[in-house]
């Protein structure tokens, strides 16, 4: 995972996990907060690769695991714009489209992926299908972290940003398990 591989995956439309060429359907492995704001710091994957990752990645499949931070990882250029906590649940957001948005230092690549509308979202916790309650618990515990970012908005735009975040929170309800 580095900036060059990110660029190649985007330019050549390659799976972020296996490196093979992607088809029409794009799957993003995300945490629940990424479902709220419809962003990812990583390129798309094949559905099978994304599902495998959400189920078996040690960080994503073990809610109490923490991210490893060391000089090798931190100096490698492999970074994330994501919330650094373990989300406790992982989603696979399947869509046919995305856009890149330049974000400076928010992501190691300098870009965030703005995911298109989902055709389906699969949810996992501890390697199995997640319950609605598990995904909601992750969202509820993560919302304060997104709300903190509102302080960075121009004061005259904070109310609109707060309203938009609330709308995004309501919109994500439609893609949760049992919706």
Q: How far apart are the first and last CA of the chain?
A: 34
Band (pLDDT 50/70/90 cuts) for residue 124 is: very high
Q: Is residue 19 predicted with pLDDT exceeding 90?
A: yes
- pLDDT digits 0-9 by tens, 49-78: 999 999 998 877 776 666 566 555 444 444
Instruction: Calculate mean pLDDT across residues 87-98.
Output: 95
Q: Is residue 167 predicted with pLDDT exceeding 60?
A: yes
pLDDT value at residue 71: 54
Nearest Cα to 138, choosing from 148, 147, 149, 130? 130
pLDDT value at residue 131: 97
Write down the mean pLDDT value for the chain.
Answer: 87
Q: Is residue 174 predicted with pLDDT exceeding 50?
A: yes
């Amino acid at each position: 995972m580095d900036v060059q591989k990110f660029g190649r995956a985007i330019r050549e439309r390659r799976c972020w996990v296996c490196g093979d060429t992607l088809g029409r359907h794009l799957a993003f492995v995300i945490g629940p907060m990424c479902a709220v704001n419809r962003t990812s710091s990583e390129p798309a994957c094949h559905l099978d690769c994304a599902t495998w990752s959400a189920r078996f990645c040690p960080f994503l499949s073990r809610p109490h695991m923490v991210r490893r931070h060391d000089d090798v990882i931190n100096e490698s250029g492999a970074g994330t714009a994501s919330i650094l906590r373990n989300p406790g649940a992982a989603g696979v957001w399947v869509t046919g489209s995305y856009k890149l948005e330049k974000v400076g230092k928010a992501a190691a690549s300098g870009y965030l992926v703005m995911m298109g509308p989902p055709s389906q979202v699969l949810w996992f916790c501890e390697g199995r299908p997640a319950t609605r309650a598990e995904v909601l618990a992750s969202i509820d515990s993560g919302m304060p972290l997104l709300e903190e970012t509102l302080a960075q908005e121009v004061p005259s735009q904070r109310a609109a940003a707060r309203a938009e975040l609330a709308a995004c929170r309501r919109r994500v309800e439609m893609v949760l398990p049992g919706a």
